[in-house]
Structure 1
C-alpha cells in the first residue's frame, strides 16, 4: 500500500469523535433516521462550545481497530447515515445553528442493501440540502473523503483539510482500477487534484493544517472559529451563492492543464 494511504488509515488517526469532544463540551447526539435505524459510523448532534456558540456537527469515523472498523463499516456510510444527517441539518437550519462536518471515509456504502434502500437518492438529498442551507457550513477532511458519499457533506462554504488528507471523486484504488492498471495507486494520487495542496492551489480548499503540529485539535478549533465568524454575518442568499460560486470556479478550470 502507498505510504500516504497507510498514514491516512492508521489506527491512531485523529478521529471525528475526539474533535467533537474537544469542540463541544456540551453535546446532545441524535440517532437514527426513523426508518432503517442507526449508522454507527456517524456521530451527529448539537452542542455548545466553551464560548457558548451553538453548533451542529456531523462526524464520520472509520474506527480504530478491527472490531470498531467492522461495526462502523470502515466509515462507508449507509442510507440511515445520510438520512440521519439530513434530519440533523434540517434542525440546524430551523434553529439557526452553523453546521460543521468532520470526515474520514472511503465513500458511501455500495452494498446491494444500500442500493435497494435508495442510497443515491439519500446522497442527492443531502447534497441539495447542504447547498441550500441558510446557515454557514464548514467541512473538515481529517483523512480521506471520496465519491459522492463525501461530496454530500462537502457542499460547504468553507473547506479545511489536513495537509495529508485526500478529497476526490473516487478513492486512489478506484482510480487505478478504472484505468485498468495503467496507473499504480500511488500514481493515481498524483494524477488528479485530490491532495490538500492541489485543491488549495485551485481555490477549493480554504485552509490546510499541518497534521503533525503539537496540538492539532486546538489549531483546528481555532480555524473553525476564525472561519465561522465572517460567515455568520452573511445573509442566507449570500451563503447559498458563495457555495455555488466556489464549486463553479473550480469546475471552470477543467480540463486541467
Structure 2
C-alpha cells in the first residue's frame, strides 16, 4: 500500500467523533432515518461551541479496529446514513444553524442492499439539499473522501483539508483499476487533482492544515469558527450562489470537447 494511504487509514488517525466532542461541549446526537434504522458510521446532531455558536454537524468515521470497522462498514455510508444526514440538514436550515461536515470515508456503500433502497437517490437528495442551504456550510476532510458519496457531505461554501487528505471522484485503487493497471495506486494519487495542495491550487479548497501540528484539534476548531463567522455576513441567496460558483469554476478547468 502507498505510504500516504497507510497514514490516512491508520488506526490512530484523528476521527470525526473526537473533533465533534472538542468542538461542541453541548451536543445532542440524532439517530436513524425513521425508516431503515441507524448508520454507525455517521455521527450527526446539534450542539453549541464554548463560544455559544450553534452548529449542526455530520461526521463520518471508519472505525479503529476490525470490530469497529466492520460495525461502521469502513466508513462507507449507507442509505439510512444519507437520509439521517438529510434530516439534520433540513432542521439546520429551519433553525438557522450552520452545518459542518467531517469527512473520512472510502465512498458510498455499494452493496446490493443499498442499491435496493435507492442509494443514488439518497445521495442526490443530500447533494441538492447541501447545495441549496440558506445557512453557511463547511466541510472538513480529516482523511479520504471519494465519489458522489463524499461530495454529498462536501457541497459546501468552505472546504478545509488536512494536508495529507484526499478528495476525488474515486479512490486511488478504483482509479488504478479503471486504467487497467496502467498506473499504480501511488501514481493514481498524483495523476488526478485529489491532494489538498492540488485542489487548493485549483481553487476548490480554501484552507489546508498541517496534520503534524501539536494541537491539531484546536487549530481545526479555530478554522471552522473563522469560516462560519466569515460566511454569516452573506445572505441566503449569496450563500447558494457562492457555493455553486466555487464548483462551477473548478469544473470549468476541464472543458468538454
TM-score when scaled to structure 2?
0.99
Matched residue, 1:161: 161
| Runs of 5+ unmatched residues, structure 2 | none
Tell me, in whole angstroms, the C-alpha distance in 1 between the residues paired with 2:33 and 2:97: 20
Determine the C-alpha separation between the residues in 2 that align with 1:130 and 1:53: 20
The match for 1:223 is: 223
> How far apart, CA to CA, are the structure 1 residues paired with 2:229 and 2:186?
38
1:213 positional shift: 0.4
Task: Say if 2:48 is the partner of 1:55.
Answer: no
Question: Gaps spanning 5+ residues in structure 1: where?
Answer: none
Which residues in structure 2 correspond to 1:230-249 (within 5 Å)? 230-249=230-249
Match for residue 13 of structure 1? 13
Q: What is the total number of aligned residue pairs between the two structures?
A: 256
The 2-side partners of 1:222 and 1:24 are apart by 12
1:142 and 1:230 map into 2 onto residues whose CA distance is 22
Q: Which residue of 2 aligns with 1:189?
A: 189
User: Could you tell me how far 1:255 is from its partner in structure 2?
Assistant: 5.2
Q: Secondary structure at the match of 2:22?
A: helix
Which of structure 1's runs of 4+ aligned residues deviate more than 2 A?
Answer: none
What's 2:3 paired with? 3
Map of 1:113 onto structure 2: 113
For the aligned residues, what is the CA RMSD? 0.8
Cα distance in 1 for residues equivalent to 2:252 and 2:90: 31
CA distance in structure 1 between the aligned counterparts of 2:7 and 2:21, rounded to whole angstroms: 23
CA separation in 2, counterparts of 1:128 and 1:55?
A: 20
Deviation at 1:233, TM superposition (A): 1.1
User: Structure 1 CA distance, aligned partners of 2:225 and 2:101?
Assistant: 14
Q: For 1:143, what is the secondary structure of its paired residue?
A: strand
- C-alpha separation in 2, matches of 1:243 and 1:106: 24
Q: Distance in 1 between matches of 2:229 and 2:28?
A: 23
